[in-house]
Amino acid sequence: MDAPAKTVHMNLLFDHYGQLLTDRQREIFLLYYHDDLSLGEIAENIQISRQGVHDTLQRVEQALLDLEGSLGLLAKEQRRQNTLRSLQGLLQDMLGHVEGRVPDAFLLQRLREALAAVEELMTE
């Protein structure tokens, strides 16, 4: 995985599992992966050694990977989003089909409600 891909992946894992880290781990993770500070800058910022920052980041990265290995929330979320996008496509096709014919208020209303439900599921 190249560096930008790793950063994206780590940020996604953090979104799912960050609440299981300590405050200090979260702080260092965010300074590095969110604020894009260097190890040296973080070390200066929070008054620990550069090696301490490095070791904490290594441990946090491994913890996030282990959590995904155990719970697989990120993989499940990605599968769910794929299925929701297919569902959204089907509903939009139906909406286009119904709108292009004799208006059917019953179907139109329910298709719009169904699309709203899918959007809610996609953004929760």
User: CB 56: neighbour CB atoms within 10 A?
Assistant: 21
Instruction: Identify the sign of the CA torsion 89, 121, 1, 70.
Output: negative
Q: Rounded to the nearest whole angstrom, what is the least distance from the CB of residue 70 to a second copy in the complex?
A: 4
Q: Which amino acid is at 84?
A: L
Q: Indicate the residue among 8 and 90 with the shorter CB distance to a second copy.
A: 90
Give the three-state DSSP class for 57. Answer: helix
Instruction: Candidates 5-13, 32-40, 44-52, 107-115: pick the segment binding a second copy (CB under 8 A).
Output: 107-115
Q: Is 86 in the site for a second copy (CB under 8 A)?
A: yes
Q: What is the CA radius of gyration of the chain?
A: 22
Binding site for a second copy (CB under 8 A): 16-17, 19-20, 67, 70-71, 73, 76, 79-80, 83-84, 86-87, 90-91, 93-94, 97-98, 106-107, 110-111, 113-114, 117-118, 120-121, 124
